[in-house]
Each structure stands twice: as structure tokens, then as C-alpha cells.
Amino acid sequence: MRQVDYIIRGDYLLTMEGDLSVIKDGAVAVTGSDIVAAGTFADISEKYSSQKILDGKNKVVFPGLINTHTHAAMVYFRGLADDLPLQEWLQDHIWPAEGKWLSEAFVGDAVELACMEMLKAGVTTYSDMYFFQNTAGEKLEKIGMRGVLGAGIIDFPFTGYAKSVDDYFINAENLINNWKDSELVFPCVAPHATYTCGPDNYKKANALSEKYNVPIHTHLAETRFEVAECQKRYGKTPVEYFESIGLLSERLSAAHCVWLTDNEISLLAKRKAGVTHCIESNLKLASGFAPVAAMLKAGIKVAFGTDGAASNNDLSILGEMSTAAKVHKAVSMDPTVVDSKTTLLMATKNGADLLMLGDKIGSIKAGKKADLVIANLQQPHLMPLYDIYSHITYCMRPSDIETVMVNGKVVIENGKPATMDEAEVIAKAVAWQKKIKAS
Ligand SMILES: [Zn+2]
């Protein structure tokens, strides 16, 4: 009998490995930060014992959800400007607000709120594009959440963060060096978009990503405006332009990819680039419908992102799963596409692979990190239960998430943050709201 730190039991265990079969009365043995074994409770309890057995009656255990595209600190701009097209929303509202408010203090406080919202909704890892990521990294280590933090890069200086364009690259390289040994924080490079970042800066960002073998995270082919602008500037559509400057690779994490030609889908697949689908942001900004079914069919790693809370307006991956599963059926006039197993795969394993963390997270398997979610199934909207995958995609709500573990540590217990003071985080958000509103 081997002693382990935790045995986590569930009436249903979804490992997201192999043929995705459901393990009834399953259990996961965890020691330190690692998953030691997963299987039926009968098998696990024969080989392992623990002082801490998390009871699994009426519960489902699955891998932590992964949000592969967001701007976490933008939670403080949630609901600041709604019902506008992307360019007007960015240029007239978001960029001026960011210009006025962005600072280390803003990012530090806002990231706490974002992490609390995501963890309570079962999101254990998020991939971010923003500024002041060292501050965000310190918060993640304190809270115990996993993050892939992308140092933002644009073609123009930004007061308080980058006096010159070179500073973006210096900041990015410093971020990479600062966090290279962290278990929770994975730094990366994040040039913003083809309309804010020229080819030279994209190539420099890509060289940095190659040098350190970290992801390069960018927005790509989000709107028709962007495609037209790209064609005007470079005579090519966005993905073809990326191919021409050597940006397409396994390290590329491209958010949106709404407007793609068939050739661009083939290029993304051939170069093994990853795509983040942000259905709710695309719907809200009326950006269009990404060809998700076609991308999945082509073998592209497609994962889910919420984008920032200012364009969603929440950070719930469960919400993205439900919306995407329904919208793509209607768009393709085919109710068999983006089924519930596929959505959970996209939200877990695909996300981990896209972030180059597939050996660490994304599924429940011996040797991987213990990033797990336990949800309570004793809810009217989850009764009766014939298919657990269906319930997670179509019916589950963030409030059903009871326990969340990241890297072997419980960070949400009975729905409450275990490593954050909820009242304090909310009080800070209210204080910032008052300041921002007054201006
Ligand atoms: Zn974005």
C-alpha cells in the first residue's frame, strides 16, 4: 500500500485519454504536484491509501479547463463599452481606457479577480496576452493557478511599459528568463495583430519564441476589416501572409481565425499551428463564425478562449463550450458537428497541446500534473443523467464546480477560493470601478 497525499473519487471520472470512455466510480491518486494513478476506485484503493479522500458521491471529476486566449486584466473593463464593432470598440473605448489606467497596480489587482472567476468556473490554466506580466506571474504563484503569460508587443511605444518598441522585446526576454523555472508560470511572446504589428516585429517575436521554444500568441484573421487591411498592406490574406514571413509553426497560438480560405485551413494544418476559438467574443463583436468544424476535420488543434471579459463578458470556458457546440451546428446545418466529447477535448487536451504543455496537463494520466475539477451533479439542471459529456457541455454551470486542484493543491474548496480572500478581491474591483467611472 503506497501512501499518497490525496485520493479524489468521483461517480464519474473523465480522463480525456484513450477512447474517452467514462470510468464509473473512478479515482485519482495524487502526491505532491503529480497524478500517480487513475482508474476505478476499487483498483486505486487496493494500491494506494491516503488521509485525504475527497468523497465523490454524485460528482464528476475531469481535467482542469484551459482558456487559451484571454487578456485577464481586462476584467476591470467588463461592461465598460458594449454593443459596438471591434475597431470602434478598441479605438474609441478600450485603448483610451488602457492608456489611462494600465499600470502594475491595475494589472495586479485585476488579475486576482480574473483568476478567482476562472478558478471558480473550473479553469485551471489560462493563456494571456497583455502587459506587466511579471506582476501577473507573482499573483499566479501566490494564488496557485497556472498561466501562459504572453508579453504583448505592438509597433508603437506605450507609456509606463515600453518607452520604445525595443522595450517590448527586452520586457519579453526578461519575462522568459524570470519564469523559466516556475512550475505554474510559462512565459511567452505575444505580438498583438497584423494591423498593430509589422512584419519586422513579427519576425523578431518569432525568433524569440524559437530561441526559447515558447509559444508565440497572437490574434489572427479575426474580422473582415483585418483581412482587407492585410491584403491592402501585404497583398495577402492573414494566414498566407504569416506563411510568407515564416510565422506558421507548432509554436503558433492564433486566436480567432474567423476568416479563413480553404488554402489557409490547409496551411494551418500543414504547419501544425494551434487555433483558439473565441465564439462568444466573435458573436458579441459580430466578427463572424470561425470554420471550426472544417478546422477540426483538417486536424488543427482547436481550443477555447474567452478573450478578454470586456468582449465576452465573462471568463467561463463552460459557456464557450455550450455556445460553440450549438452555434456550429446551426452554421453548418449539421447537428453532428462539435459534439460534446469534442468540446471537452477542445477545452482540455487540445488546449494543453496548443500551449506546448501537453506533456504536463490537459488529461488525467499518471505522471501529469494534478490539475483537476470536481463538479457536483446534484442539481435540478443536471438531472436525470444519461450522458455525462452531454451534461458538461450543454447543462453545467460554473456554480456546479465544487473543488478545483492545481498542481496538486486545492485552490477552490466547496465552491470557495482557498488561496484568496474573496471579499477583499471584490472590494478592490469595486474601488477600481469607482475610479474608472469617475473619469
Ligand atoms: Zn484577444
Q: Mean per-residue pLDDT for 301-312?
A: 96
User: In what helix (H) or strand (E) does residue 403 lie, and over which residues does it extend?
Assistant: strand 401-406
| pLDDT score at 86 | 84
Threshold 0.85, pTM exceeds? yes
How close is the Cα of 307 to the center of ligand 1, in Å? Answer: 5
pLDDT higher than 90, residue 318: yes
In the predicted structure, residue 350 carries a pLDDT above the cut 90: yes
Model pLDDT, residue 85: 85
Ligand 1 centre distance from Cα of residue 17 (Å): 30
What's the CA-to-centroid distance between 69 and ligand 1, angstroms? 6
Element (H, E) at 134: helix 133-143
Distance from Cα 276 to the centre of ligand 1, integer Å: 10
Strands laid side by side in the 274-277 sheet: 65-70, 123-130, 146-153, 185-191, 216-220, 252-256, 274-277, 301-304
Per-residue pLDDT tens over the stretch 8-38: 999 999 999 999 999 999 999 999 999 999 9
Instruction: Calculate how far, in angstroms, residue 66's C-alpha sits from the geometric centre of ligand 1.
Output: 15
Q: What proportion of the chain, given as a percentage, has pLDDT over 70?
A: 100
Q: Please name which of 110, 106, 111, 78 lies closest in space to residue 94, comparing C-alpha atoms.
A: 78
407 CB-contact burial (10 Å; exposed 0-12 / middle 13-18 / buried 19+): buried
Fold (CATH) for 65-354? TIM Barrel (3.20.20)
What's the gap in Å between 49 CA and the centre of ligand 1? 45
Q: What pLDDT sits at residue 159?
A: 81
Ligand 1 center from residue 290 Cα (angstroms): 15
Instruction: List the one residue out of 257, 71, 256 whose CA is nearest residue 151.
Output: 71
Residues whose Cβ atom is located within 5 A of ion ligand 1: 307
Residues 176-191 have pLDDT tens digits of 999 999 999 999 999 9
Q: Given 2.30.40.10, 1.10.150.530, 2.120.10.30, 2.40.50.100, which CATH number is that of 2-63+365-417? A: 2.30.40.10
Could you report the per-residue pLDDT of 131-159, keeping only the tens digit for each? Answer: 999 999 999 999 999 999 999 999 999 88
**Strands 401-406 vs 372-376: parallel, antiparallel or unpaired:** antiparallel
Query: Looking at residues 287-300, what average pLDDT do you find?
Result: 97
> For the chain, what are the domain ranges?
2-63+365-417, 65-354
Residue 405 sits at φ, ψ, to 5 deg, of -120, 135
SS3 254: strand
Q: Give pLDDT, residue 152.
A: 98
**How many A from CA of 281 to the centre of ligand 1?**
9
Provide the pLDDT confidence category of residue 253 given band limits of 50, 70 and 90. Answer: very high
pLDDT at 87 over 90: no
Q: How confident is the model at residue 247 (pLDDT cuts 50, 70, 90)?
A: very high
pLDDT score of 439: 81
HSE of 240, CA atoms in CB hemisphere, 13 A: 14
Q: How far is the CA of 193 from the centre of ligand 1 (A)?
A: 9
Span from the CA of 127 to the centroid of ligand 1 (angstroms): 11
Q: What is the mean pLDDT of residues 311-318?
A: 96
Q: Is it the case that residue 397 has pLDDT exceeding 90?
A: yes
Question: What's the whole-number mean pLDDT along residues 222-235?
Answer: 97
DSSP states of 57-78 as a string? TTEEEEEPEEEEEE-GGGGGGT
Mean pLDDT score of the chain, rounded to an integer?
97
